[in-house]
Amino acid sequence: MKKLILCFCLIVVIFSSATYYKRYKNNTPTIEISTSTKFSQDEIQQAIDCVQTNFSFPACTLTKLWYDEAKSNELITLNSMDTENSIMIFSNFDVDGSGDNPVLTPNSTYTNYMWFLIREDTNSDWTIDHFGL
C-alpha cells in the first residue's frame, strides 16, 4: 500500500512539474534590441520589462518584444511626443482559441503591436502611455 501511495505521489509531482515547465517556458517572449544612439541598452530593457510586466490580455501569450529605433523615432515624431522621454516597443502575441478574450480574434497572431511608453525624465521609470496596432 505504501508503494502505491508513493507511486501516486511521484506521478503527481512529475505531472505538476511538466505542466509548470510547459506553461512558463512558453510564456517567455523572444527579445530583440537594436542598436540605439538615443537610449542605453539598460533603458531599452527597462521599457521592454515594463511592457512584459503589464501585458495582461486574457487568453493571450506574448511571443516577441523588440525595439527598432528607426520605426520608434518615426512614430514618436508623428505623434508629437517628447523624443527624449518617449520610446516605442513592438510586440507579437498569440490569442488562443478559448474565446476568453471578448475583443481579440481567437486562434490568431497579432504582429507589430505597438506600445508607447513615456517617462518624466531620464531618471524616471517608463510607464505605458497607450498601445495598439
Which residue type, as a one-letter code, is found at position 127? T
Q: Are strands 127-132 and 60-67 parallel, antiparallel or unpaired?
A: unpaired
| Structure confidence by residue, pLDDT tens digits, 36-64 | 999 999 999 999 999 999 999 999 999 99
**Cβ 73 vs Cβ 38: under 8 Å:** yes
AA letter at 75? L
List pLDDT tens digits, range 73-95.
999 998 888 889 999 999 999 99
Residue 88, classed as helix, strand or coil, is strand
Share the mean pLDDT of the chain.
86
